[in-house]
A and B are shown apart, each in its own frame.
Chain A
Amino acid sequence: MSVLIEAREVAVDGPQGRLVEPVSLTLRPGVPLTIVGETGSGKSLLMQALMGTLPAGLQARGSARIDGEDFDLSAPGNMRRLWGRTIAVLPQEPWLALDPLMRAREQVAEVHHLVSLETAGGAHADADLETVGLARAAARLPGELSGGMAQRLAFSAARAGGATIQFADEPTKGLDTAMRDGIADLLIGRLGAEGGLLTVTHDLDLARRIGGELMVMLKGRIVEQGPASRLLAAPSHDYTRRLVAAQPSNWARRQGSQGSEAAVISARGLSVVRGGVRLFDGVDLDLRPGAITGILGRSGCGKTSLGNALLGLVPLSGGHVSRDPSILSHRFQKLWQDPPSAFARTQTIGRELNALARLHRVDRQRMDRLLKRLRLSPELLKRPPGQVSGGELQRIALMRALMVDPVFLFADEPTSRLDLITQQEVIDMLGEVVREEKLALLIVSHDGDLLERFCDDVVKLDHRDGTARQSN
Chain B
Amino acid sequence: MSSLARILGFRLAQAGVVGVIVGIATFVMMRALPGDLAFRIAAGRYGYDNTTAEAAAQVRDELGLDQGPLLAFLDWIGDIARFDLGRSLVSGETVWSEITHQLGASLQLAGAAVLLAMLIGLPVGIWCGLRAGSTADRLLILISSAARAMPQFLLGLVLIVIFAVQLRLLPAAGHGDVKHLVLPALTLALGLAAALARITREATHGVAQSSYYEFARWKGLSDRQVFFRHGLRNITPPVLTYLGLQFVLLAEGVVVVETIFGWPGIGHALIHAIFHRDVPMVQGTALVMGLGFVLINTLVDLAITRIDPRGDGRSSNRAGIEHG
Chain A residues in the interface with B (C-beta under 8 A): 51, 53, 80, 83-85, 88-89, 91-93, 95-102, 110-111, 114-115, 141, 143-144, 146-147, 154, 157-158, 160-161, 163, 174, 176, 275, 297-304, 337, 412-413, 444, 446
Contacts and interface: CB of A to CB of B under 8 A. Distances in A.
Given A101-B310, A301-B324, A96 B219 contact: no
A141 B214 contact: no
A110 B324 contact: no
Contact of B212 (A100, A160, A174, A446): A100
Contacts of B233: 99, 101-102
Contacts of A96: 210-212
Interface of B: 210-212, 214-222, 225, 229-230, 233-234, 307-310, 313-314, 316-318, 320-324
Contacts of B220: 83-85, 111, 114-115, 161, 163
Contacts of A147: 321
Contacts of A101: 233-234, 307-310
A304 B219 contact: no
A140 to B, nearest CB: 10
Contacts, number: 109
Contacts of B222: 114
B312 to A, nearest CB: 10
Nearest to B229: A110
Contact of B219 (A53, A144, A157): A157
B92 to A, nearest CB: 54
A146 B317 CA distance: 8
Contacts of B307: 101
B contact patch SS: helix
A23 B320 CA distance: 40
A302 B324 CA distance: 6
Contacts of A95: 318, 321
Nearest to A106: B229
A335 to B, nearest CB: 14
Nearest to A159: B219
Nearest to B324: A299
Contacts of B215: 89, 91, 97-98, 154, 157-158
A83 B217 contact: yes
Contacts of A158: 215, 218-219
A99 B218 contact: no
A444 B324 contact: yes
Interface centre among B211, B215, B317, B320, by most A CB within 10 Å? B215
Given A97-B212, A100-B234, 9 more contacts: A83-B220, A84-B219, A91-B211, A95-B318, A98-B215, A102-B233, A143-B313, A163-B220, A299-B321
A144 B230 contact: no
Contacts of B324: 176, 297-304, 413, 444, 446
A299 B308 CA distance: 26
A115 B218 CA distance: 11
Given A101-B310, A110-B229, A89 B234 contact: no
B137 to A, nearest CB: 14
A84 B221 contact: yes
B310 A141 contact: yes
Contact of A115 (B211, B219, B310): B219
A157 B210 CA distance: 17
A111 B219 contact: yes
10 closest Cβ contacts across the A-B interface?
Answer: A84-B220, A115-B220, A97-B215, A161-B220, A96-B211, A89-B218, A300-B320, A97-B211, A143-B314, A299-B324
Given A143-B314, A275-B316, A304-B324, A114 B212 contact: no
Contacts of A102: 229-230, 233
B26 to A, nearest CB: 43
19 contacts: A51-B218, A85-B220, A89-B218, A97-B215, A99-B212, A99-B234, A101-B233, A141-B309, A141-B310, A143-B310, A157-B215, A158-B218, A160-B219, A297-B324, A299-B324, A300-B320, A337-B323, A412-B323, A444-B324
Contacts of A337: 323
Contacts of B234: 99-101
A393 B147 CA distance: 44
A97 B209 CA distance: 11
A298 B307 CA distance: 33
B221 A299 contact: no
Contacts of A174: 322
Contacts of B210: 96
A461 to B, nearest CB: 10
Contacts of A297: 324
A245 B308 CA distance: 47
Interface centre among B225, B233, B321, by most A CB within 10 Å? B321
B233 to A, nearest CB: 5
A240 to B, nearest CB: 31
Contacts of A300: 320-321, 324
Contacts of B314: 100, 143
Given A99-B230, A110-B229, A297-B324, A91 B313 contact: no
